[in-house]
Amino acid sequence: MLERQNKMKTDDPSAVARAAAMKEFRPADRGFWSHVSDLEWNDWHWQLKHRITTLPQLQRLMPTLTPEEHAGTMLANSKLSLAITPFFFNLIDTSDEGCPIRRQVIPSIEETHTAAWEMSDPCGEDSHSPVPGLVHRYPDRVLFLVTDRCASYCRYCTRSRLVSNAAGYDFHPEFDRQINYIATHPEIRDVLLSGGDPLLFSDEKLEYLLNRLRAIPHVEFLRIGTRIPIFLPQRITPELCAMLRQFHPLFISIHSNHPRELTMEVKAALERLADAGIPLGNQSVLLRGVNDNPLVMKAHLQKLLMCRVKPYYIYQCDLITGSAHLRASVRQGLAIMSALRGHTSGYAVPLYVIDAPGGGGKVPINPDYILSRNGDRVLIRNFEGKVFEYPEDREGRPLISHHQMLAGIERD
Ligand SMILES: *Cc1c(COP(=O)(O)O)cnc(C)c1O
């Protein structure tokens, strides 16, 4: 049934045309900043300095602000600050209350609605921190939080307890303690820099950190989690790329949720990183009214491949306090995964995961392709819903023919 629905949707010629339109690379509009010189606009410091951070600014730029957004913005500074780069702000369709870009960054009063099962630290990071700012949840790798600042703030941020410091967490990472922990734990072979956004650091500060990590012999693999290529592609300068390429193997995971985020400028920034030899992955969050639709998600993932980015994860939205209005159901996530696997390039298909509430870590969630496992076969279905069987004996050994079995006995 599900398969049939998805097929109908994607084979419909108007759906094909809509997907093609979503995948077009457009230059980001200059919008309200048409008077600004190219030099300023393309300067990442200019973009940061001119971020939208206050209600009066937002009201001036967006006369269509709804009462819910107005009230949400008034309260943002006691929860998760408001900040949007001019570059990203211009992607908002201000005439559309349901704009998928708008939903991600404009505060709403719904953020103050909380449910009993929501948490301020839904992934249980604080309880897995041996030293402040270091999360050691998995055996061989750590999450190294380097800052509480981002270029813009996502309203569903899973780390909003500390990010932007609006809630008074007072995050002060002590690099010496964090690095010392990694240096004295030889099982750590993979360090993931995140935050906040590590690419907000100056090239010099980031280079200093990466050098110290590279000096630890057992650290094999470095990665950076960042949304800067999306919020602030101007930051991805040739100098930054030249600095980063000294630290290979270094991977970068970006965070993008909707095809409209992938503008010409963003594509060019991602290409600069890829040309520096940095393998790029993407992490999306399944968000209601943003990408909880097979057509939008598929167009987005295919567009990422065109930017040389491999879709890595789709996250079920964490149970972060005040995120109910942005969360989609697991059921819908599974329907989207069914609409992807087999229907498009395997490279475009990420892993769908739930970061288990309370600190269980990432758990992969898959549509069921195994229908049953009996004594002598595994029954499977393909992406079209057709059923197949693969022989296997009761103990899980591959079935062999009578002839092969006799040959085996003779050898013994
Ligand atoms: C996501 C995450 C990692 C990295 O997990 P991978 O599946 O290897 O990408 C590491 N530590 C923590 C705490 C994480 O949340």
Kindly report, residue by residue over 40-88, the tens digit of the pLDDT. 999 999 999 999 999 999 999 999 999 999 999 999 989 999 999 999 9
> Which residues 6+ apart lie within 8 Å of 121 measured at CB?
127, 161
Average pLDDT estimate for 187-213: 98
227 labelled catalytic: no
pTM of the model: 0.94
Q: For the segment 166-185, what is each residue's pLDDT rounded down to a tens digit?
A: 998 989 999 999 999 999 99
pLDDT at 412: 47
CATH architecture of 1-367: Alpha-Beta Barrel (3.20)
Average pLDDT estimate for 329-356: 98
- Range with lowest mean pLDDT among 94-103, 114-123, 370-379: 370-379
150 labelled catalytic: yes
133 Cα–ligand 1 center, Å: 14
Note whether 18 and 295 are within 8 A (CB).
Answer: yes
pLDDT at 29: 87
Is the CB of 135 within 6 Å of ligand 1? yes
Atom of ligand 1 nearest to the CA of 135: 13
Model confidence at 14, pLDDT cuts 50, 70, 90, reads: confident
Given CA atoms 148, 86, 317, 334 in this order, what sign does their dihedral have?
negative
pLDDT at 395: 76
pLDDT at residue 108 greater than cutoff 50: yes
Residue 59 identity (one-letter amino acid): Q
pLDDT at 2: 47
pLDDT at residue 362 greater than cutoff 60: yes
pLDDT at residue 9 greater than cutoff 80: no
327 Cα–ligand 1 center, Å: 21
Average pLDDT estimate for 220-227: 98
Atom of ligand 1 nearest to the CA of 137: 13
**Which of 192, 315, 352 is the pocket-test mutation for ligand 1 (most atoms within 8 Å of CB)?**
192
Note whether 249 and 220 are within 8 A (CB).
Answer: yes
Task: Pick the closest to residue 271 from 312, 241, 302, 239 (CA basis).
Answer: 241
* Minimum CA distance residue for ligand 1 atom 11: 143
Q: What percent of the chain has pLDDT over 90?
A: 88
Rounded Cα gap, residues 355 and 274, in angstroms:
28
pLDDT at 376: 84
Pairwise pLDDT comparison (17 vs 403), residue with the higher score = 17
pLDDT at residue 397 greater than cutoff 80: no
Average pLDDT estimate for 101-105: 98
pLDDT at residue 137 greater than cutoff 80: yes
Q: How many helices (H) and strands (E) does the chain have?
A: 16, 12
pLDDT at 399: 75
Domain with CATH 3.20.20.70 in the chain: 1-367
pLDDT at residue 3 greater than cutoff 90: no
191 Cα–ligand 1 center, Å: 9
CB atoms within 10 A of CB 63: 7
pLDDT at residue 326 greater than cutoff 60: yes
pLDDT at 1: 44
pLDDT at 101: 98
Average pLDDT estimate for 221-229: 98
pLDDT at 375: 78
What is the overall mean pLDDT for the chain? 94
pLDDT at residue 290 greater than cutoff 90: yes
Model confidence at 10, pLDDT cuts 50, 70, 90, reads: low
355 labelled catalytic: yes
312 Cα–ligand 1 center, Å: 12
Taking CA atoms, 102 is separated from 24, 48, 83, 184, 271, in Å, by 20, 19, 12, 44, 26
Average pLDDT estimate for 221-225: 98
Q: CA geometry: angle at 308 spanning 212 and 340, to 5°?
A: 115
- Range with lowest mean pLDDT among 67-81, 192-206, 327-341, 388-402: 388-402
Note whether 10 and 339 are within 8 A (CB).
Answer: yes
